[in-house]
């Protein structure tokens, strides 16, 4: 099992800011609790207890929340980026604090509640070990099937699993979308320029795809995304059961 997860929390959450101007997006309440707690629960269920939070916007509020949070077995560290660095730049900023190769990365606004990561990563013979052996120098992007892809855009791959294209947001009947979970070898992070704003989604991944160094791994639905008011409402409905 990978010993550490990195959660990217630097974004301003502009589509929810009017409703929750006093907190970062990860602390927006979802079904009665800050969204970050749902991610923490998922990580614990899957055997991951070391978490590095790559924070930016309103990091001081997040720091205060963590200081008052009860001890529950998680080893949580907070990193504050000095300026907005984008998802790739934020990952580069925390590079000296990373504890694994590959690096397990999560977006801070999505949840895949039916993904049993611990089962997929059984020591020595699990699915992810097989993928790592087959594609040792490639990034892995987990993708979820979804109907009416709409605002997500789609990820396309060839029969071998290599990502071939990222399609912009459009009305499609169905497709695979970025689930916001990545396994990235450290050699990819080494190539990100330090101190610059870089996007994983729009810069790093398309470049890797062009080099056949990015692999799509399908996972079970649903993909829950609380980045918009509609997504937040749908997530609440699912989590309340």
pLDDT tens digits along 55-79: 998 999 999 999 999 989 999 999 9
- The Cα 61–Cα 83 span in angstroms is 16
* C-alpha torsion sign, points 59, 50, 221, 143: positive
- The Cα 128–Cα 137 span in angstroms is 14
The predicted model scores a pTM of: 0.93
Torsion angle defined by CA atoms of residues 49, 118, 225 and 198, in that order, rounded to the nearest 10 degrees: 70
Where do the domains of the chain lie, and which CATH numbers do they carry?
Answer: 4-240 (3.90.550.10)
Beta bridge partners of 240: none
DSSP 8-state class, residue 118: H
* 184 or 136: which leads in pLDDT: 184
Letter string b/e over residues 136-153, b meaning 16 or more CB atoms within 10 A of that residue's CB: eebbbbbbbbbeebeebb
Neighbours of 108 (CB within 10 A): 24
DSSP 8-state class, residue 200: I
pLDDT in tens, 107-135: 999 999 999 887 776 655 567 778 888 88
User: 134 is written with which tokens?
Assistant: 């087959």
**pLDDT of amino acid 133:** 83
């Amino acid at each position: 099992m990978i010993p550490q997860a990195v959660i990217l929390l630097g974004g301003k959450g502009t589509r929810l800011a009017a409703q929750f101007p006093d907190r970062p997006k990860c602390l927006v309440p979802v079904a009665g609790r800050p969204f970050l707690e749902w991610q923490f629960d998922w990580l614990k269920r899957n055997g991951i207890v070391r978490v590095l939070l790559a924070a930016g916007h309103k990091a001081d509020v997040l720091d205060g929340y963590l200081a008052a949070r009860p001890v529950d077995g998680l080893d949580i560290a907070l990193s504050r980026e000095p300026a907005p660095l984008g998802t790739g730049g934020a990952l580069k900023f925390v590079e000296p604090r990373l504890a694994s190769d590959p690096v397990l990365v999560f977006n801070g606004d999505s949840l895949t509640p039916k993904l049993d990561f611990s089962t997929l990563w059984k020591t020595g013979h699990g699915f992810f070990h097989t993928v790592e052996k087959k594609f040792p120098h490639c990034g892995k992007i987990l993708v979820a099937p979804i109907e009416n892809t709409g605002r997500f855009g789609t990820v396309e791959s060839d029969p071998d699993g290599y990502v071939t294209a990222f399609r912009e947001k459009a009305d499609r009947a169905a497709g695979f979308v970025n689930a916001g979970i990545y396994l990235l070898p450290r050699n990819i992070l080494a190539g990100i320029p330090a101190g610059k704003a870089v996007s994983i989604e729009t810069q790093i991944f398309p470049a890797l795809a062009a080099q056949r160094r990015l692999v799509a791994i399908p996972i079970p639905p649903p993909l829950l995304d609380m980045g918009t008011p509609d997504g937040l409402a749908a997530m609440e409905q699912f989590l309340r059961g």
